[in-house]
């Protein structure tokens, strides 16, 4: 897969969240692959920091990546094409795909990587984001305005 990042920025599961956030800032990235050697264990995105830590009032200085990483990785093999990758991202509501071969990490592919070289594929994503924005808006309202949940129950 030509567009993947061959040497993605990775981290260990025992890295403190504050250090992971600094690493993401330093490299201007939105996600980190959590690895043990060549094995991908999980992924942490900027959304995980917001929803699982900040939104819950937790202290990122006291937590590690293993506390918030998504372990149910959806991956792709290097023999698949960009279209297959984008369809997988759309269908699974994700923006990143670790590229794996025989259980080993080969690279990392993001929607941004794909759209940089194939901007015509944006139509595949538009509907996904419209649906996702509506779901996110409802979740945000219920999380930060609990009275809305009460009104819905009546």
Q: What is the CATH number of the domain that holds 106?
A: 3.10.580.10
Alpha-carbon span 24 to 15, nearest angstrom:
12
pLDDT (0 to 100) of residue 145: 60
How many CB atoms lie under 10 A from the CB of residue 154?
A: 4
- Point out which residues pair with 137 in neighbouring strands: none
The pLDDT tens digits of the residues spanning 53-103 come to 999 999 988 999 999 999 999 999 999 988 888 888 888 989 899 999 998
Structurally, the chain folds into a number of domains equal to 1
125 domain residue, yes or no = no
Residue 137 located in a structural domain:
no
Please check whether residue 77 lies inside any domain of the structure. yes
Does some domain include residue 102? yes
5-14, 41-50, 92-101, 129-138: the lowest-pLDDT one:
129-138
Q: Which two tokens stand for residue 145?
A: 């305005």
pLDDT given at position 154: 47
- List, for residues 21-59, the tens digit of each pLDDT value: 999 999 999 999 999 988 899 999 999 999 999 999 999
Of 138, 12, 4, 141, nearest in space to 79 by CA = 4
Q: Which residues pair with 45 in a beta bridge?
A: 31
Domain residues for 68? 10-118
């Amino acid at each position: 897969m030509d567009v993947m990042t061959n040497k993605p920025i990775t981290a260990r599961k025992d890295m403190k969240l504050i250090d992971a956030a600094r690493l993401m800032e330093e490299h201007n990235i939105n996600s980190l692959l959590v690895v043990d050697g060549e094995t991908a264990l999980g992924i942490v995105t900027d959304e995980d920091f917001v929803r699982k830590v900040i939104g819950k009032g937790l202290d990122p200085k006291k937590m590690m990546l293993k506390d918030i990483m998504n372990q149910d990785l959806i991956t792709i093999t290097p023999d698949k094409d960009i279209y297959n990758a984008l369809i997988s991202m759309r269908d699974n509501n994700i923006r990143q795909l670790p590229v794996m071969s025989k259980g080993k990490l080969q690279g990392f592919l993001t929607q941004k990587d794909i759209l940089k070289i194939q901007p015509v594929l944006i139509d595949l994503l538009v509907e996904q984001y419209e649906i996702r924005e509506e779901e996110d808006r409802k979740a945000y309202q219920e999380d930060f305005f609990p009275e809305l949940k009460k009104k819905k129950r009546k």
